[in-house]
Chain A
Amino acid sequence: MADAIVNGLGGLTVGFQMLALDWRNTIMILVGFVLLYLGVKKDCEPLLLVPIGFGCILVNIPLADVMSKEGFIRALYDAGIVTELFPLLIFVGIGAMTDFGPVLAQPSTFLLGAAGQFGIFLTLLLALALGFPQLDAVSIGIIGACDGPTAIYVTSKYAPHLLGAVSVAAYSYMSLVPILQPPIMRLLTTKKERMTVMKPVAKPVSKTTKMLFPLVITILGGVIAPKGLPLLGTIMLGNLMRESGVVSRLTKASENEIANVVTLFLGLCIGATMVGSAFIKAQTLIILALGFVAICLDTVCGVLMGKVMRVVTGGKVNPLIGAAGISAFPMAARVVQREGAKWNKKSYLLMHAMGANAGGQVGSVIAAAVMLSVLAGMGIIR
């Protein structure tokens, strides 16, 4: 009987023994706490970082087997990440939440949304130079889309072993946009440029145009870059439901209940990919560094495009709005407004920046779609 009791007690201590044997799990549990701290105390993307942090803690508790074949997070992972369903459902919600009116009022701001994606391709080159395999480099570059669901969609498909690092980098840096962007904006512009006052956007957009937008973009984008149609189609479906105004129940469900449930599952699944043995590598640090570079390069290219537009329009454009050409919506637009107002109290850049920001939202999806279609065209993917 004594043996049975000792063995029974052994079952209660084996977890501690395993933790002591593999220090990487302990480190990752601490990383989970850091993510929770950032989400709860610092308000950095809490909707994602809280489930990611908790998932990270869960998966690193030895013998819990939450990601084993029968584990509950594995079931979610197989159902939503392997099938790419979760990022696509999130996109329906994003489409339902986003007002593309500002970019439709000034369609030229689509170009700022394009320039804001150049960091993807420049970072891809850097990752290749550092020796990453081609599809891994693609997944690292996509951090520059500043768009969590797009990064997850591409990475889960072509480099699932990098999913944890890429997702954490994408969401962490997105929340750091207000800190990362202003110094770059100041570095690349002169005081005179920053003080430029832009005319208010006075052109209203008709309901017909707003309703045609998702249809035209889906068909046009789908024909040019069919590999990205699931991304483009879902965001535009959400937007069509919003603008049509006839399916308010579906719109509300997409932007609230569905988006909330999927965000929870998505976060848990991403956190559960952060197993110590797979995550604690020099490679992870390099990916985090490249993600940082990607988002900085996006800002650089966006501001430079703003400067080009300033020259073309004879000085009517404040190049700061170029920094909003990324997908972090509407955070980047607010950063531009704040920075512009700092240099000129009469400057009201918000609506222009919102146009560039909405352009960036479409731009990130188009960039991913173009990237996938080019890869398919080269025969790298099917």
Chain B
Amino acid sequence: MEVFMDNFTFGITMLICGMGGTILTLWIMSLVMGLLGKLFPEKPAKKEA
């Protein structure tokens, strides 16, 4: 179903949901990746005897 809305409502909705959605998604991703980085830290290479 196609919905028609005026340009002002469309633009403001895209601005709020688009910018908000992008920053929120990337913020969540940064938190998750930070957590994974802590859960799986780089282990120092073992010295060969």
Contacts and interface: CB of A to CB of B under 8 A. Distances in A.
Interface centre among B1, B27, B31, B42 (most CB of A within 10 A): B42
Contacts, number: 127
A110 B19 contact: no
Contacts of A138: 14
Interface in A187-243: 203-206, 208-209, 212-213, 216-217, 220-221, 224-225
B30 A370 contact: no
Given A128-B7, A134-B7, A380-B2, A213 B23 contact: no
Interface centre among B18, B23, B34, B41 (most CB of A within 10 A): B18
Given A125-B15, A128-B10, A371-B18, A212 B23 contact: no
A379 interface: yes
Given A374-B13, A374-B14, A205 B37 contact: yes
A217 B26 CA distance: 9
Contacts of B41: 206
A114 B27 contact: yes
A104 interface: yes
Contacts of B40: 206, 208-209, 212
B5 interface: yes
Interface string A153-192: 0000000000000000000000000000000000000000
A359 interface: yes
Nearest to B8: A128
Range, interface on chain A: 35 or more
Contacts of A107: 29-31, 33-34, 37
A380 B30 CA distance: 30
Contacts of B37: 104-105, 107, 203, 205-206, 209
B49 interface: no
Nearest to A367: B22
Contact of B23 (A114, A206, A220): A114
Interface in B9-49: 10-11, 13-15, 17-19, 21-23, 25-34, 36-37, 40-43
B15 A363 contact: no
A147 to B, nearest CB: 13
B20 to A, nearest CB: 9
Contact of A221 (B8, B10, B29): B29
Contacts of A128: 7-8, 10-11
A366 interface: yes
Contacts of A208: 40
Given A128-B11, A209-B36, A114 B18 contact: no
Contacts of A125: 11, 14-15
Interface stretch (A65-73, A75-83, A116-124, A250-258): A116-124
B18 A370 contact: yes
A225 B30 CA distance: 16
Interface string A91-122: 00000000000011101111101110110111
A124 B21 contact: no
Contacts of A134: 7, 10
B21 A378 contact: no
A225 B25 contact: yes
B11 A124 contact: yes
Nearest to A112: B26
A110 B13 contact: no
A362 interface: yes
Contact of B33 (A216, A379, A380): A216
Q: Kindly list the 4 A-B residue pairs having the minimum CB-CB distance in the complex, ordered from nearest.
A: A379-B3, A110-B30, A107-B30, A370-B21
Given A111-B26, A118-B22, A209-B40, 9 more contacts: A115-B23, A124-B14, A134-B7, A205-B37, A220-B29, A224-B28, A225-B25, A370-B25, A378-B13
Interface of B: 1-3, 5, 7-8, 10-11, 13-15, 17-19, 21-23, 25-34, 36-37, 40-43
9 contacts: A104-B33, A110-B27, A114-B25, A138-B14, A205-B37, A206-B40, A209-B37, A367-B18, A379-B2
